[in-house]
Structure 1
Amino acid sequence: MDLSQTLKEPKYWLLALVAALAAIHLTLLSRIDNSELFATCLLFWIAAGSLIWDRYQTLNLESNLTASVLGALIVIGMLTRVGSSPDSSASAWALPLVAGLGTGLLASGFKGLKQYWREFIIFGLLAAYPLLRLTLEAIDLSEITAKAASFVLWYSGFPVRLQGVFLLMPSSRVEVYGACSGIQSILQLLSISVLFLLMFPLRSHVQKVLCVVSAVVIGFVVNALRVALMAILNNAGDKNAFDYWHEGQGSLIFSAIAVLVFGSFCWFFFLRTPNQKPDSGPQGNA
């Protein structure tokens, strides 16, 4: 297929539109200066693109004038909103879902939207991200995280006392405030667990619940270990190391560890195929 024929295919124009929307969204997120969030959203786009790519030959790409006009207006309106307030975090959260709705109408009309339900769940989860964060903040995980970190330190043999959200050690103290309570890690793994369920559907409802719950628990526990490590470093007077694991690349390392642990958990319990012994046939005595 030459270039002129390619340009006549609507699906390639739609592909270019989706790629442009993804680039705009990731650019907006880069302004927020949150590496973990940027990586999570990039994973969202990759997952949505992978789901569409797996079934692109069977997608219904027939729309009508009304749906196409409405879809175009939605996309243009969203881009206009982003252009007028590029630093708005609300636009960054809502852009994929709203733009995805507009693109879906352009591509498949009203009747064809249902074939994109997985992608709408992915981007709907992203749009609900601020609400989920507020919910976890209302629970106040700081004190729970402090208790978990205190237990880790005590079990490891370090002298520590717990006073509310403060970890008191012989020569220092560490306050576990909201940003260190594990909210970001929990939300990240919760999002990844939803992506896992969409890309690798599990038959058992028990397995689905176990997948989501394990994501939350792993995110919380790994962050509690990080807080315990920072308390040890702060007590040792190593400020550079403390800052590295608190705000530097060290925090991203723990995020990667949490994702790796969750991925290993899912592989072992959900994806791994047990080894079967080869059938040697009936045996008898000679």
Structure 2
Amino acid sequence: MSKKHNLIVWCGLIVGFYYYLFFWLKTLVQFLIGGSTFPLLTITGGYLALQELWQNKAKIVRFRATNIQRRLGHILIGCGILFFPFSLDKGWKQALVWLSIFVGIVISTWGIKFFKYYLRPTFLIIFSIYPGINVLPGYLWQALTPERTMDQIQAWSVNLALHTMGYPSNIDGTWVNLPTGSVNIGWGCNGFDLMVLMLMTSLLIGMAYRLKSRQILIISLLGCVIAFVFNTARITLLAISVAYWDGQSFDFWHSGWGGQIFSLAMFTAFYYLLMQMRLLDFARKSHSSN
């Protein structure tokens, strides 16, 4: 039974790594080149999960799966191996099949109780399996809200910022108009992705520092507010560059490099705000006292 189990597990690992690892790495590189910082969160989530599992390896090896659990895990691995060649057309399909193989390996090796004792690393591994998991909240938002709601909210905030700075602007739906130029707020520029990014960052910080649920909620709200404010500043800059500067300025701030600069400034402000509020210091004290 042990040899048979090891053979099935190795087949699952080989198939999963051969098909999915290349897609995972390629997607991460493409996102980084495009100016997205989500790959860094993906890698961080995977690292935190593996670190916790490695620290508890002596306890994990004592877990034993029952015969029924072992058979169930082998079925999941076998289904993953069987269906993987048919999932190569879509990244989310590959991620789902690889998740099936991963769950099958865990259940057949350590049993279902593994998930009871190591829920946090399990969540982090699921979070890091698909690099594009950040698009899921966007689909939910668009399905549950009227069309272009977030675009209109962002257009209103940009118009308010321009008026505060003394620019004679007005809005028409999702268009922000200046006397000599206009910008249209689309889905990629409405700040929703940045808010999701900060929300996921807050969750990872909370798990890394063992924060309480209330503290995670606080820093998540702070992160979303900071993301919205910085995105408003960026779109305001783009509107000014369209109306009063040259096209190269707009292209630079609209490209990946411009996005990375604003992301760096956003994360820096977020970090110093957390330090100023002593949330991370409190987390260290709370962790050390436990």
TM range (shorter): 0.7 to 0.9
Instruction: Say whether the 8 Å CA contact 1:137–1:178 is kept in structure 2.
Output: no
Pairing of 1:174-253 with structure 2 (within 5 A):
174-203=183-212, 205-253=213-261
Equivalent AA in structure 1 for residue 40 of structure 2: A
- Aligned counterparts, 1:84-95, within 5 A: 84-91=86-93, 94=96
Return the letter of the residue paired with 1:74.
L
Residue of 135, 138, 151 corresponding to 1:133:
138
Which residue number corresponds to residue 21 of structure 2?
23
* 1:70 aligns to 2:107 (yes or no): no
Structure-2 separation of matches of 1:83 and 1:165: 43
1:45 counterpart = 2:53: no
Gaps of 5+ in 1: 1-9, 274-286
Q: CA RMSD in A?
A: 3.3
Distance 1:25 1:65 in 2: 34
Asked if structure 1 preserves the Cα contact closer than 8 Å seen for 2:182 and 2:239, the reply is yes
Task: Report the counterpart of residue 7 of structure 1 in structure 2.
Answer: none
Find the aligned partners of 1:194 and 1:97 in 2 and give their Cα distance.
21
**One-letter amino acid of the structure 1 residue matched with residue 90 of structure 2:** S
CA contact (8 A) 1:29 1:92 kept: no
* Structure-2 change in CA distance of 1:260 and 1:31 (3 Å): closer
For each residue in 1:190-222, what CA deviation from the matched residue of structure 2 results, as whole angstroms up to 9, or x when unmatched?
A: 11111122222224x542321221122122221
Aligned residues: 261
State percent identity of aligned pairs: 20
**Paired residue for 2:117?**
115
Larger RCO (CA under 8 A, 6+ residues apart): 2
CA distance in 1, matches of 2:215, 2:191: 24
- Distance 1:76-1:182 versus aligned 2 partners, 3 A rule: farther
TM-superposition CA deviations, 1:166-190 (whole Å, max 9, x none): 1111210001111111121111111
One of 85, 101, 104 as aligned partner of 2:103: 101
The change in CA–CA distance for 1:246 and 1:93 in structure 2 (over 3 A counts) is: farther
One-letter amino acid of the counterpart of residue 104, structure 1: V
Tell me the SS of whatever aligns to 1:272.
Answer: helix
AA at the equivalent of 1:231: A
Q: Deviations over 1:36-84 (max 9, x none)?
A: 3333322222222233234333334433454344334434544554443
The equivalent of 1:171 in structure 2 is: 180
Asked whether the 8 Å contact 1:185–1:219 carries over to 2, the reply is yes
Distance in 1 separating the partners of 2:232 and 2:166: 16
Q: Is the 8 Å Cα contact of residues 155 and 175 (structure 2) preserved in structure 1?
A: yes
Aligned with 2:118: secondary structure?
Answer: helix
Instruction: Give the TM-score taking structure 1 as reference length.
Output: 0.75
Task: Specify the SS of the correspondent of 1:27.
Answer: helix
> Is the Cα–Cα contact under 8 Å of residues 152 and 173 in structure 2 kept in the other structure?
yes
Residues in 1 aligned to 2:80 and 2:257: alpha-carbon distance in whole angstroms: 34
Q: Which runs of 5+ in 2 are unaligned?
A: 1-5, 283-290
1:139-189 Cα shifts (integer Å, max 9, x gaps): 421111111122222222333222221111121000111111112111111
Equivalent of 2:170 in 161, 165, 178: 161
Distance 2:218 2:180 in 1: 41
Rg bigger for which structure?
Answer: 1
* TM-score, length basis structure 2: 0.75
